[in-house]
Structure 1
């Protein structure tokens, strides 16, 4: 228990995911019953990360005698932007009372990701059903909505009275630790207040916390609060604890929100023990904040650009030791990193056109060195069609350019920044993925480029491949200290750097390595997008609803 308090990092604390409600309907299903129409049901399967296994997640109700069902029972799914959440929907005709699927008639299936549904216009995706050769199986339609309590942020302030004195020479240095309870009875730390020095009657600063971090949407779930006396060596003394709930807190300041702090050990030992002090809720308010999903549903597009390091330190591409070696049987680290990140981001970019650049190579025919050449070979149009198109252009470039140097980052960053500068109205957000094997040669210019880019709708992901020391990269990843240039600090932290080797699966499972990598490098993008929108006062456009879309009601 004690160790976990010290290790708690509010920046990296996992807030429960946004909950998405998926509604399903079908059109023109296959007619299989002789005397009536079909009695359809839809079964949802989820695929585990890094495995190929599908497991059943849930089923809609069965609707009798229709080929155009609008199901009432919804699927509630946790949404993680940074994961590729593969879904499979199977449609069956139910003609027996059994719940055993093997007894049902198969009417077709479709595969998609949760990101595809959310990233579709208005959060509405229509797919054709397939799986029975030579037959038209109709369509399945999904709509996605975020549950409203996912966006609530609570602000509260607490104080304490007559806490136990724990320090030999002075009073106590109290702080509070909040835990939300989990379904299985365990507790997860979700907030830690600051320490108020040398007092038994502390007043803590007001703090804000997402409501779902406090109770995961269940207002009556237990919230446990521990009171500690801070010690410099980290062995904080336990003063006592109390429990409450989000619903109790939300009633605001009243006589019920004064809590006795109890220490079970003391209570057991001392007959006259009453309590170890009291904690009082001074104020409580809830506000709604816009979420990442609000912006995506309102039409904000993620523009994805790739830049690949073609410097000589990667090694001769014709040799197996090269980081750019084209093994016919497995992808190299560059291709894996590109695919891992690109496969997820592409769900949020409707045109699927991705600019792709190389840097640090000599180009044919005259051997000119370039630090931002289009992999497509077309200076007028650097776009590639889909992630597969980017991979093809990369493989083609490896065969045609000469690896050289130095490793200059700033030209590509400035190139993307110029595009981002043209659209600062919230309709687009730019994500630049840079994959490199080594140390930056133009660190000063790169810092300047990052500081300038931080004022634009833009994030930068840098993935280091190969065995090099990447210490200098940590300077650009502003988690600890914000990047600065000539005394100007970046207004936001927009760079995320990771070495790929930290994510490699020991057993050689490439799918798992890629999933781990993507999860880590993409996790900060939603917050970075929201940070930009907030500082610019940009609100999401209203989500397109089904009534704004043609053809939804054509068969109803």
Structure 2
């Protein structure tokens, strides 16, 4: 949807294009029947938002007389991690020829989403246990509760009699189906497996009580499909500079001044980057940290404090929650100094190290540092970054204000390999530094595009180095493009 000219953001700052091809396959269920004599003849129109307007991208074929159409048309799109790509799907009962015009068609319904949001959300799983009867029919024995927003659900223990479970025949087949709950009753099938009570007993005795939950549809369609498994999620951490060089927030010249009609540079950068990253964070909760301020109650200088003043839970609900915590924090702290960022980089690195020790590293951390000047603890920062380059994390530094950020380019490994004070080289480039003033007049989308442009490459480099194959939502490895699995 965007041409080359739209990807040029500012002089000297050109984001590297990093696109993946994504295939979208569509189907509908229980459509409205608008035809009095026959069923509807549905088709779906795909639109994408560009510069605030919805533009038609393509349209499926028409499926005749069906309220549950499965369309053969495949939409192929360029997917950019660093962009919020808004999509709209409109379903029509088609009357005229299958063209691009919907003028004579009846609108049946529609929905909007971003290209990233549904691919990286967690499921609300529940399990159904069925007894397979002698005639091959299946009798529901038990249905668990729904575990909200969880890819590793632990359901409550339950009891059923052996007679209800398997008619007292320990080798009678039992079928377990796992679903992703939908409040409208249109649950998405995740996968199933078949076992027996005898197999269950033996598995528990041998401490190997696990079964692959398989979706047969994806097993037929996809090479190397194993089971319906794990996704890679991005976990955004935000660190804000509260040093005195920002100026008194009560003064309109301060970089921290809160103007209800014009967000300051900190807020503009925070919202632009956060709105992209939130599609890849399943619970939409973000750690928000501050550094360089004297904080209550003793007003001692801290270079690592929760801006919601809850050290036990520094996460905020959504990007708007981070904005509100930032605005509430300003009148309660005393801006001080110096500009030390190594403590926060090391803190996030410890979280990333703990994730790596799981052997799966399904969580990738993005640390966004917003600062108005060159860091004071440059040696410690270089050391922290070199250590972090071995871990599943990236560091994005946005310089706000008009300071001379020349020395900050040292941390960005674009012009050479960053080394620690001891001479140890970084394993990979994990830092992106962007001076906000070069993007001051850019749109939020263009700002996010530039700031996040290197993150996909950094993610791929980490998993490649660790020899961890990418895992799609359907459990398929080694192929590009997410699937439509839950």
If the length of structure 1 is used for normalisation, what is the TM-score?
Answer: 0.61
Give the counterpart of 2:281 among 335, 338, 349.
349
In the alignment, the residues of structure 1 paired with residue 448 and residue 361 of structure 2 have an alpha-carbon distance, to the nearest angstrom, of 24
Change (3 A) 1:484 1:14: closer
Q: Please tell me whether residue 522 in structure 1 is matched to residue 447 in structure 2.
A: no
User: Structure 1, residues 272-294: CA drift from partner, whole Å, max 9, x if none?
Assistant: xxxxxxxxxxxxxxxxxxxxxxx
Deviates more, 1:17-26 or 1:462-471: 17-26
Give the structure 1 partner of residue 427 of structure 2: 491
Instruction: Give the structure 2 partner of residue 321 of structure 1.
Output: 253
Residues 430 and 545 of structure 1: is their aligned pair in 2 closer, same or farther, counting only changes over 3 Å?
closer
What is the DSSP-based 3-state SS (H/G/I as helix, E as strand, rest coil) of the residue aligned with 2:366?
A: strand
**CA shift at 1:58, angstroms?**
0.3
- 1:382 is matched with 314
What pairs up with 1:116-515 in 2 under 5 angstroms? 116-120=117-121, 298-424=230-356, 425-485=360-420, 486-505=422-441, 512-515=442-445
Distance 1:303 1:448, change over 3 A: same
Contact persistence 1:24–1:140 (CA under 8 A): no
Q: Distance in 1 between matches of 2:21 and 2:367?
A: 28
Alpha-carbon distance, 1:384 to partner = 1.1
2: distance between equivalents of 1:467 and 1:327?
A: 19
Q: Show the counterpart of 2:86.
A: 86
**Offset at residue 545 of structure 1 (A):** 6.2
CA distance in 2, matches of 1:426, 1:71: 36
CA contact (8 A) 2:25 2:71 kept: yes
Partner SS state of residue 450, structure 2: helix
Q: Distance in 2 between matches of 1:59 and 1:52?
A: 21
Name 1:536's counterpart in structure 2: 466
How far, CA to CA, are the matches of 2:86 and 2:317 in structure 1?
22
Quote the Cα distance in structure 2 between the aligned partners of 1:333 and 1:140: 43
Instruction: Please list the CA deviations of residues 19-62 of structure 1 after superposition, one character each: whole Å capped at 9, or x if unmatched.
Output: 111111122222322223322211111122xx211111001111
Which residue number corresponds to residue 6 of structure 1? none
Distance in 1 separating the partners of 2:72 and 2:425: 52
How far apart are the structure 1 equivalents of 2:284 and 2:463? Answer: 23
Residues of 1 paired with 2:427 and 2:98: CA distance? Answer: 60
- Quick one: distance in 2 between partners of 1:310 and 1:542? 40
Matched residue of 2:267: which SS? helix
Give the root-mean-square deviation of aligned CA atoms.
Answer: 2.7
Kept in 1, the 8 Å contact 2:19–2:80? The answer is: yes
**Is contact 1:464-1:498 (8 Å) kept?**
yes
Distance 1:113 1:363 in 2: 39
Q: Which deviates more, 333-342 or 86-95?
A: 86-95
Give the 3-state SS of the residue equivalent to 2:414 in structure 1. Answer: coil
TM-score normalised over the length of structure 2? 0.70
**Residue 395 (structure 1) shift:** 1.3
Q: Is the 8 A contact 1:108 1:137 kept in 2?
A: no
Equivalent residue of 1:78, what SS?
Answer: strand
The CA deviation at 1:468 is: 0.8
Larger radius of gyration: 1
| Counterpart-to-counterpart distance in 2, 1:522 and 1:140 | 34
Residue 426 of structure 1: how far off its partner (Å): 2.6
2 CA distance for matches of 1:518 and 1:140?
34
Higher relative contact order (CA 8 A, sep 6+): 2
* Partner residue of 2:39 out of 37, 40, 43: 37
| Alpha-carbon offset, residue 298 of structure 1 | 4.4
TM-aligned CA deviation for residue 121 of structure 1? 5.5
> Is residue 16–residue 454 contact of structure 2 (8 Å, CA) maintained in 1?
no
Provide the rounded CA distance (Å) in 2 between the counterparts of 1:113 and 1:397: 31
Distance 1:331 1:35 in 2: 57
Q: Aligned to 1:399, what secondary structure does the other structure show? A: helix
Residues in 1 aligned to 2:46 and 2:255: alpha-carbon distance in whole angstroms? 40
CA separation of 1:535/1:317 partners in 2, compared to 1, >3 Å: closer, same or farther?
same
Alignment gaps of 5+ in structure 1: 1-11, 123-135, 144-296, 506-511, 547-551
CA apart distance, 1:421: 0.7
Please give the alpha-carbon distance, in whole angstroms, between the structure 2 residues aligned to 1:402 and 1:37: 68
C-alpha contact (below 8 Å) 1:466/1:501 kept by paired residues? yes
Q: Distance in 2 between matches of 1:41 and 1:139?
A: 20
The superposition leaves residues 472-524 of structure 1 with CA deviations (integer Å, 9 ceiling, x where unpaired) of: 1101001112221211111111110010111122xxxxxx4322221122111
